Amino acid sequence: MSDIACFTPRLSEAIRRQAAWIDRTEYNMEPPFSLPTSSSPTSRAWLRLGNKRTRIALESILLGMAIVWAVAWYSAPYLARDYINRGLSGLPDYTGRVERVRIHPLAASLDIYDIHLEKRAAEIPVSFFYSPRWTISLQWSEIFHGVQRASVVIDTPQMNFVAGPNPTQSQMYISMVWIDAIKQLIPWRVNRVQIHGGDVHFLDFHASPRMDLEVSQLELDAENMSNSQGLKVPLPATVKITARPLLTGTFVMNLAVNFDERFATFTQNFTMEHVPAIGANSALQKYYKIRAKSGELGLYSELTSDKGVYHGYVKPFFYRLEFEPNPSDEGNPGAAWSGLVNVVKGLFEDDNHVIATQSEISGRVDQPNIDAIGAIAGALRNAYIEALRTGFDPTHSPPKPTDTVTTPLTATTAKEAAAPSPAVKN
């Protein structure tokens, strides 16, 4: 009896607690311990959307769209690469290819990797052109001008011009068909082109020793090529080029041009200084059978063209040049040639051992003319009368173009564009 008496109060207390918990649940009170639920407002709203068949149909459509988007996303670069390669493979003389394409739809741009351009003849061991990366993008700044224009950035391109004994062993130029084909592959009209870290070689693998003239660290920035800003000026586009000829020289060119003119219309000036003469020894040995022992080269020029008619001048400087015979000619009559060149050179040097002259350039696109007699007279004048100064000559600056044909065309400029060029008149 004592055990039952002790158990009865504990049982009563348990019954009382259970009743209290039942009361709390009736008033929507949460129990002390509850399991988490996976239901959410979004999922409950989805479950209330139509019947089960409708939901399955909508889920199938969404899943199909996701699959199509994923397939398009991952296949688009390969389709773009194949499209570009097809466009570059069927053109004359040269063949081109790209290895990979990456598309950035949000930025409206694409990256093209490993661009090759090679001559079809297999006798040339180097490609004509190679660049590890091109970036083609929409110029958002030009959208505010109401036009869609592209910007092209070319990273570290390498270009090799090769001189050989016959056309199949040479690659000195490329047909305009290639330029037109590359322009067609770009979805927008190109307004700006930039080149960073370019490297250009002039090679002759059949010369002894092998000729290799290099222009390194090439930088180019061409802006407003399509005149997206609508400037009503004769030369709306600007181009600036800098480079290192023969590794240690300096080269700077400034160009203003109208790319929409049918005939060459531009103004340009360029400066080339501190070019080492010994860097051109491979060319001197091949073409003149001598070698430069010391000396530097400099060059200054201004040139304008108005619808294909040229005017300007070129002013070269040769500092402290000394020549020596080819190693193969030492000790034989061939060595006398370098001595004769040094004697003739001395006739044209001034007191500072500088040879300089200034020659006028004029003519038409199809009939260029350089005043050779004036160049010789200028060298003699520099040596014996008055030394030329380095830099540009403001007294001989050519006249600027008067052409006003720009894009977009007006009724007046369209009439000007249709007029024949003086460069093609008889």
pLDDT in tens, 403-424: 555 544 455 545 555 555 555 5
Write the pLDDT tens digit of every residue in 324-337: 887 777 667 667 88
With vertex at residue 416, the alpha carbon angle to CA 139 and CA 399, rounded to the nearest 5 degrees, is 85
Between residues 211 and 90, which one has the greater pLDDT?
A: 211
What pLDDT, on a 0 to 100 scale, did the predictor assign at position 13?
66
Averaged pLDDT for residues 69-78: 79
Q: Is residue 198 over pLDDT 90?
A: yes
Can you give the pTM of this predicted structure?
A: 0.75
| Per-residue pLDDT at 12 | 63
Residue 395 has pLDDT above 60, yes or no: yes
165-171 average pLDDT score: 84
Q: Please count the other Cβ atoms lying within 10 Å of the Cβ belonging to residue 255.
A: 17
Q: How confident is the model at residue 9 (pLDDT cuts 50, 70, 90)?
A: low
pLDDT of residue 90: 74
The partner residues of 200 in beta bridges, in order of sequence, read 159, 215
Query: DSSP label at 230?
Result: -
pLDDT value, residue 4 = 47
Closest CA to 200 of 242, 248, 160: 160
| pLDDT at residue 141 in the model | 67
Highest mean pLDDT among 7-16, 144-153, 213-222, 257-266: 213-222
> Residue 33 has what pLDDT?
45
- Rounded to a whole number, what is the distance in angstroms from the first to the last CA of the chain? 141
pLDDT value at 144 more than 80: no
Which pLDDT score is estimated for 27? 47
Q: What is the pLDDT of residues 200-239, one digit of tens each?
A: 999 998 887 888 999 999 999 998 887 666 666 778 888 9
In order, the DSSP letters of 282-299 are HHHHHHHSEEEEEEEEEE
| Lowest-pLDDT choice from 25-39, 356-370, 375-389, 407-421 | 25-39
CB neighbour list of residue 333: distance below 8 Å, 6 or more residues apart? none
Read off the pLDDT band of 268 (50, 70, 90): very high
- Please report which confidence band the pLDDT of residue 129 belongs to, taking 50, 70 and 90 as the band edges: very high
Dmax of the chain from CA atoms?
145
pLDDT at residue 189, rounded to an integer: 80
- Answer yes or no: is pLDDT of 158 > 90: yes
DSSP structural state of residue 90: S
CA torsion, ordered 420, 426, 266, 139, to nearest 10 deg: 40
Kindly tell me if the per-residue pLDDT of 172 is higher than 80: yes
Q: What pLDDT was estimated at residue 335?
A: 75
| Residue 146 pLDDT grade (very low, low, confident, very high; cuts 50, 70, 90) | low
Give the whole-angstrom CA distance, residue 129 versus residue 115. Answer: 8
Considering 194-203, 288-297, 376-385, the range whose residues carry the highest mean pLDDT is 194-203
pLDDT at 2 (0 to 100): 47
